[in-house]
Structure 1
């Protein structure tokens, strides 16, 4: 198989990782994506590995949408003697957030003591743990679980299943995880099994919360949704209907300037803001149903 490597001009670390997450949220651009630091200059390079000539224009447009500016890319064939899968994973360092340790299978070092480990490889689904929306959710989950033990949990837009797995590992209680993308559902099932919580995760293909299993198991006392501000606001009435009295709702995928609109949408369902976590330009909301 002919493999091409697409590389960016030098970026900051945050820009490189943001572009990695944006590319891995798509299933049509690349097999894998990663970020690498030049140890001499401290600059970061985004790289994507493709099994066909990459659509450079699509990468340029996605970079413009994600980073707000133009990014130049170059393309070169990959030496067939190189293990390009392993190489693409080298830049994905472990992430620590909320007492969770998220790492890829390429990471061979020991898990630091006192942390909850989760092995999540880069795949055709969103959620390696590197993006501020995911770390914000993990920190919010940690805060919520320190003061209550939910019994009925739902993860909407699960991606790789990282948040559902985090909930299952900490509580040893079943979690329903839904996503509109069938690839995400398959990825979640695989990751749950790999992390020893396969029997605790019920992964479903669903648009929002529109699934008979989700409705049948309501009300929920903890709902997590890491998607985007627009869909989150549109989902507010549906989530309001399945959230039980005293429920906690964690929302992320929200830029800071979008937070007020999402808060207002859920306030109309009777929910109040308990806490707002900000990570760079991204906001995670912890809401409560009184």
Structure 2
């Protein structure tokens, strides 16, 4: 198989944001990662692709995610190089709240006192590196310090990282949903890999449109790390499935979009309890009145 490496110098935050965006799709790259040059301290985005890569699609995605044009370079990969191992080198473990998110390539022991979650880069969103994921994990940790939810749903689960976090810390059942069948399969596999396959039920659903979602309502914890537009559209439905006094943890929201999302959820019967800001991204913790 002929493969190419597409790369661009970016900031650390930009590189990881673009990695997550690329891995959310199944048509651009075999895998993607962020790397730091230990000598210069410069960060790079790298993607391994079938040859030739769709450079125009990468440029368009970079504009959407980073807000500007990126000049990518393309190099052929030596067939003797283990490009899978190479692509994983930059995916360092992530500590967020009380959780430790790592890939199977990581050989260091899990730090004491943290809940481990093994997530490999896959064709679904959520390796743990993006501020939206870390914000959600931190919000979950804050919530679990003073309450134990019983009816939980993760909407737009991606790799299942948030559902797995809840299943590991709370136990019980978590309903995980996603519009993408690849994400559904990935979540099932990751839940089994993390020993919580029996705790997580996964369904393919568009938004809240699934009989299983309705049947299990009301929920005392809703988590949704998607995008501001869909979150705003889902606000009335979220109010309908949330238990009185229940919590919604929402992310995938740029700081500039936060007030609009907050207003939509206040109109749906929620009040803002916490607003976490991680660089350009907001995570909202809302309570159903």
TM-score range, shorter chain: over 0.9
Equivalents in 2 of 1:164, 1:73: separation in Å? 35
TM-score for the superposition, normalised by structure 1: 0.98
- Unpaired segments of 5 or more residues in structure 2? none
Equivalents in 2 of 1:218, 1:55: separation in Å? 43
Matches within 5 A, 1:1-290: 1-8=1-8, 10-290=9-289
Equivalents in 1 of 2:174, 2:205: separation in Å? 15
CA positional deviation for 1:85: 0.8
Deviations 1:179-202 (A, max 9, x none): 000000000000000000000000
Using the TM superposition, name which of 81-90 and 130-139 deviates more: 81-90
4+ long deviations beyond 6 Å: none
TM-score for the superposition, normalised by structure 2: 0.99
CA positional deviation for 1:61: 1.4
CA positional deviation for 1:92: 0.4
Q: Helix, strand or coil for the counterpart of 2:10?
A: coil
Deviations 1:31-56 (A, max 9, x none): 10001111111101111011231011
Equivalents in 2 of 1:179, 1:75: separation in Å? 33
Equivalents in 1 of 2:116, 2:243: separation in Å? 30
Deviations 1:198-240 (A, max 9, x none): 0000011000111111100110000000000010000011111
- Unpaired segments of 5 or more residues in structure 1? none
CA positional deviation for 1:248: 0.4
Equivalents in 2 of 1:217, 1:100: separation in Å? 27
Equivalents in 2 of 1:230, 1:68: separation in Å? 17
Equivalents in 2 of 1:202, 1:264: separation in Å? 31
Equivalents in 2 of 1:274, 1:68: separation in Å? 30
Q: Helix, strand or coil for the counterpart of 2:154?
A: strand
CA positional deviation for 1:161: 0.2
